[in-house]
Amino acid sequence: MIVINGESITESNLSNLEGLEKTIFQRLFNDSEVYSYDSIEELRFEIALRNNIVASAALMEQGEARFETFAGTQCNPAYWKLTDVGGILIREDVNPSDAIADIFKNSQLYAFECATAILILYYHAILNTIGPKLFNEYFQDLYLYSWHFDSDLVMQSVYTYYTIPGDVVYFKNPDFNPLTYWWRGENAVVMGDDLYFGHGLGIKDASYIIEFLNGTRKPGGTKPAYLSDYVARPSFTHLAKLSSSPNRRTKHQHPVIIHRKNSISLDRYLFYLYRSYLPNQ
């Protein structure tokens, strides 16, 4: 259900949408949850950003960036510095917009794990939605490492099986092999039509991802992999307000996390996700 200024809208309010953007609108409209906006422009912003997240995922899938654990992380030294823990820290003498764009332009120079891939997709999609000027103003000092995100990338978390293109879901592999602990699960972007993008796997349907993860179980493991009901998404309304009110910019010292109805603690989830990369689990 979509509510703008306290009033629900009809499908005719955005009848000019086509393709994936129309699908995104219909999924928002048909959801039993309430999606509230201050203006029709905020709704249009969310639809555009979700569409760009899917487009960025498709572009990454076409590129040559490789899946690697933190120990094998690689980056282009012309834009980034590699940290001791496998993080990718932006150089002080480059624009954030150019550094993010380079990951897709010179993808053969990069390697990272799946959570880092999701953040890169978010930043790339936001850049393509708000433009380089605002992106460079808001997203300085970028650090690409697992789920460490810029304070202006406010995140939401929710338990639901009702997903919308641009959402990020998690396929869990409970009987993962400790020797290949990086396949404990897979973060994946909802592309639509039961297709998901997971870095290292490409764009696949749910059954393929589950079958792949089942093939990485520990010897004797019998618990099947499954698509969990955890969904992560950025706060689209927060980002819309940043793009429309650049003079009211506020910087938070720590990442902000919004919890909706039926939501879980994202920071707690990320803690468990971080632990999942440790081989002695």
Mean pLDDT by groups of 10 residues along the chain of 281 residues: 90 83 95 94 96 98 96 97 95 97 98 94 97 95 88 89 97 96 95 96 98 96 96 94 65 36 37 40 34
* Model pLDDT, residue 237: 93
Which residue ranges make up each domain of the chain? 2-276
* Model pLDDT, residue 92: 95
* Model pLDDT, residue 250: 43
Cα atoms found within 13 Å of the Cα of residue 238, Cβ hemisphere only: 18
pTM, whole model, 2 decimals?
0.87
Give helix then strand counts, H and E, for the chain.
Answer: 8, 15
Going by C-alpha positions, the residue among 129, 142, 154 that lies closest to residue 243 is: 129
Instruction: Spell out where the chain has E strands.
Output: 2-4, 7-8, 35-37, 66-67, 80-82, 88-90, 111-112, 143-144, 155-159, 168-172, 185-192, 195-198, 202-205, 226-234, 257-259
**What is the side-by-side order of every strand in the sheet holding 257-259?**
202-205, 195-198, 185-192, 168-172, 226-234, 155-159, 257-259
* Model pLDDT, residue 247: 52
* Cα separation values, 237 from 36, 41, 116, 269, Å: 9, 10, 23, 23
Cα atoms found within 13 Å of the Cα of residue 252, Cβ hemisphere only: 11
**Measured distance between the N- and C-terminal CA atoms of the chain, rounded to whole angstroms:** 41
* Model pLDDT, residue 255: 38
State how far the Cα of 114 lies from the Cα of 95, in Å rounded to an integer: 24
* Residue 125 near residue 55 (C-beta atoms within 8 A): yes
